[in-house]
Amino acid sequence: MNNPNFSSTPELSVEQRGPVLWLTITREERRNAMSHGVLAGMTQAITAAQGQRDIRAIVITGAGAKAFCAGADLQSANAFTTDYSEPHGHLAQLLRAARASYVPLIARVNGACMAGGMGLMSMCDMAVAARHAVFGLPEVKVGVFPAQVLSVLQHLIPRRTLNEMCLTGEPITAAQALEVGLVNYVDDDVDAKLQWLLERLLDKSPAAIRRGLYTLKKVEAMAFEESMSFTESQIALFTLTEDAKEGQKAFQEKRKPNWVGH
Q: Cα separation of 171 and 167, whole Å?
A: 11
pLDDT attached to residue 5: 77
Q: What is the mean pLDDT of residues 238-254?
A: 94
Q: Residue 1: pLDDT above 90?
A: no
Q: Are 60 and 108 in contact (CB under 8 A)?
A: yes
Structural domain contains residue 257 = no
Regarding whether 53 and 182 lie in a shared domain, the answer is: yes
Q: Residue 22: pLDDT above 80?
A: yes
Regarding whether 61 and 178 lie in a shared domain, the answer is: yes
Residue 173: give the domain boundaries.
Answer: 12-202
Regarding whether 16 and 54 lie in a shared domain, the answer is: yes
Regarding whether 232 and 166 lie in a shared domain, the answer is: no
Please indicate whether residue 6 or residue 201 has the higher confidence score (pLDDT). Answer: 201
Regarding whether 190 and 210 lie in a shared domain, the answer is: no
Structural domain contains residue 27 = yes
Q: Cα separation of 21 and 161, whole Å?
A: 32
Structural domain contains residue 130 = yes
Regarding whether 95 and 135 lie in a shared domain, the answer is: yes
Regarding whether 91 and 49 lie in a shared domain, the answer is: yes
- The answer for residues whose C-beta is within 8 angstroms of residue 29's C-beta and 6 or more apart is none
Regarding whether 91 and 40 lie in a shared domain, the answer is: yes
Kindly report, residue by residue over 213-230, the tens digit of the pLDDT: 999 999 998 999 999 999
Residue percentage of the chain with pLDDT more than 70: 94
Q: Residue 189: pLDDT above 90?
A: yes
Regarding whether 151 and 30 lie in a shared domain, the answer is: yes
Residue percentage of the chain with pLDDT more than 90: 85
Q: How many residues does the chain have?
A: 262
Regarding whether 210 and 198 lie in a shared domain, the answer is: no
Q: Residues 36-57, buried b or exposed e (16+ Cβ, 10 A)?
A: bebbbbbbbbbbbbeeeeebbb
Regarding whether 119 and 235 lie in a shared domain, the answer is: no
Structural domain contains residue 223 = yes
CATH number at residue 120: 3.90.226.10
Whole-model pTM over 0.75 = yes
pLDDT attached to residue 73: 79
- Of the CA atoms within 13 Å of residue 152, those in its CB half-sphere come to 24
pLDDT attached to residue 62: 98
Structural domain contains residue 3 = no
Kindly report, residue by residue over 56-111, the tens digit of the pLDDT: 999 999 999 999 999 987 765 555 555 554 555 788 999 999 999 999 999 999 99
Kindly report, residue by residue over 119-151, the tens digit of the pLDDT: 999 999 999 999 999 999 999 999 999 998 999
Structural domain contains residue 5 = no
Structural domain contains residue 260 = no
Q: What is the mean pLDDT of residues 201-214?
A: 96
Based on the structure, what is the number of domains in the chain? Answer: 2
Structural domain contains residue 224 = yes
Regarding whether 239 and 178 lie in a shared domain, the answer is: no
